[in-house]
Amino acid sequence: MPQGLAKRLSVIVPSITLQVSARANDLRSRGIDVVNFGVGEPDFEPPAFILDAAKKAIDAGQTSKYTAVTGIAALKQAICAATEKKRGFLPTPDQITVSVGAKHSLFNVALACYEEGDEILIPTPCWVSYPEQVRMFGAEPVLVPTSQENGWRLTPDDLARALTPRTKAVILCTPSNPTGSAYTEEQLSALLEVLRKHDCYIVVDEIYGDLVYDGFRHVSAAKIAPDLLSRLIIIDGVSKSYAMTGWRIGWSIAPKPLAKACDVVQGQSTTNPTAVAQHAAVAALTGPQEEVEAMRGVFQKRRDLIVSALNAIPGVRCRTPEGAFYAFPDCRGLYGIHYKGKPISNDEDLAFFLLEKAHVAAVPGGAFGAPGYLRFSYATSEDRIAKGIASMRAAVEAARQEGQSASAG
């Protein structure tokens, strides 16, 4: 008989997001309308010209065979051109590995770079997969807390203090999942100045780079610090900006030796990304961008609505994020309301309270390294946002009244 599973899996933390999702699905199966603020994907369909390009590729017989492991030439060329236009620097095709989504790109980098004894520095709150991928390959995630007061941004002093001779890489995400926070050019430049003095990889996840608001200007780390390109890795993709999460196309732009290593890794795992999705991604990057801009404008309106509605709930405090499609409110002021006969004292209990009583699904902040907060995705309609936050407020007020009545009794 087999002797069990690989020990590496023992370090992976089970996802609280999946637990919330499972409970939400259970409620829906019983006919209950759950407003889902947990999902991290746009609710739009991709623009029609992208779908048309995929259909044409199928009709032309371009999608039934393997492609090059790291992506078709047309897509790599489109990525280079779009990167120069949007991010301000021009990579070469041999720096690009097209993968099955940006998460896969990060996985390739982790497998190619991280090993036992390495430290990977990650500011928190952070996307749940960053530290888990690090642990999977025997390295140690070094989690450096940030705060709402400083805009959820890593400071140069905190970065400098966290770096050690074992630091193999630093992972930054701007704009961020889960906070929506983004670094200005000056703030990112200050971090890169610290990293100039330390020989490590710099991984910058820019998957939300096109989704910024109020005139905020996203500037790529690669444009700011061309002298660091020998150890700078940019992660990007079409999932968020073009509403193509299910198409699973992301990419890494890396120094050529690392890009070659990622090619080797991918060649022994997935081989190429899905052919038809690659042709759709070419269309996304080279086609008209008006619908993409329209989606960004809708997200900004939704952001304004949800932040205002959350801040109107006594006990909730939410900063206005610069980008992405997440609000990340401090909900510790709701601690003490009663749920299942006892006062709520943590974000997980609060999330399940909101699910049971308000039929609102949000992700506990502890999953991202920020206990006491909740992540709300506003990738849903304004009507659903208004309904969900109103239901949340009503549930909180009812619970407070029940608690006051119980105390008076």
How many domains does the chain fold into?
2
Q: Pick from 273, 288, 303: which residue ends a domain?
A: 288
- Residue 15 has what pLDDT? 74
In which domain, by residue range, is 229 found?
A: 48-288
- Residue 402 has what pLDDT? 77
How far is residue 363 from each of residues 159, 230, 356, measured CA to CA in Å? 27, 37, 14
Backbone angles phi, psi at 140, to 5 degrees: -115, 120
Please check whether residue 326 is in contact with residue 178, taking contact to mean a CB–CB distance below 8 angstroms: yes
Residues 279 and 350 in one domain: no
Please check whether residue 105 is in contact with residue 97, taking contact to mean a CB–CB distance below 8 angstroms: yes
Which CATH number characterizes residue 60's domain? 3.40.640.10
- At 36 the three-state DSSP class reads strand
Which CATH number characterizes residue 40's domain? 3.90.1150.10
Residue 319 inside a domain? The answer is yes
Residues 20 and 126 in one domain: no
Residues 282 and 353 in one domain: no
Question: How far apart are the C-alpha atoms of 407 and 113, rounded to whole Å?
Answer: 57
Residues 300 and 253 in one domain: no
Task: Name the E strands within 101-207.
Answer: 119-124, 140-145, 167-173, 201-205
pLDDT, block means (10 residues), the chain with 409 residues: 77 79 89 92 95 97 94 98 96 98 98 97 97 96 96 98 98 98 98 97 98 97 97 98 97 98 96 97 97 96 98 98 98 92 92 96 96 97 98 95 66
Paired tokens of 393: 């407020």
Residues 107 and 219 in one domain: yes
Please check whether residue 130 is in contact with residue 123, taking contact to mean a CB–CB distance below 8 angstroms: no
Residue 273 inside a domain? The answer is yes
Residue 1 inside a domain? The answer is no
Please check whether residue 358 is in contact with residue 395, taking contact to mean a CB–CB distance below 8 angstroms: yes
Residues 254 and 357 in one domain: no
Q: Whose CA is closest to 362, among 345, 348, 343, 341?
A: 348
Residues 339 and 355 in one domain: yes
Residue 2 inside a domain? The answer is no
- At 199 the three-state DSSP class reads coil
Please check whether residue 96 is in contact with residue 71, taking contact to mean a CB–CB distance below 8 angstroms: yes
Residue 363 inside a domain? The answer is yes
Residue 115 inside a domain? The answer is yes
Paired tokens of 110: 């982790």
Residue 155 inside a domain? The answer is yes
Tokens 């999942």 found at: 177
Residues 40 and 166 in one domain: no
First CA to last CA across the chain, in angstroms?
61
Q: Whose CA is closest to 277, among 103, 100, 48?
A: 100
**Amino acid (1-letter code) at residue 90:** L
Paired tokens of 201: 């990889």
Please check whether residue 181 is in contact with residue 133, taking contact to mean a CB–CB distance below 8 angstroms: no
Q: Pick from 254, 288, 322: which residue ends a domain?
A: 288
Residues 34 and 141 in one domain: no
- How many C-alpha atoms does 21 have within 13 Å on its Cβ side? 7
Residue 195 inside a domain? The answer is yes
Residues whose CB falls within 8 Å of the CB of residue 10, separated by 6 or more in sequence, listed in order? none
Paired tokens of 376: 């709300």
Please check whether residue 372 is in contact with residue 385, taking contact to mean a CB–CB distance below 8 angstroms: no
Residues 17 and 78 in one domain: no
Q: Pick from 265, 288, 311: which residue ends a domain?
A: 288
Residues 267 and 123 in one domain: yes
Residues 162 and 203 in one domain: yes
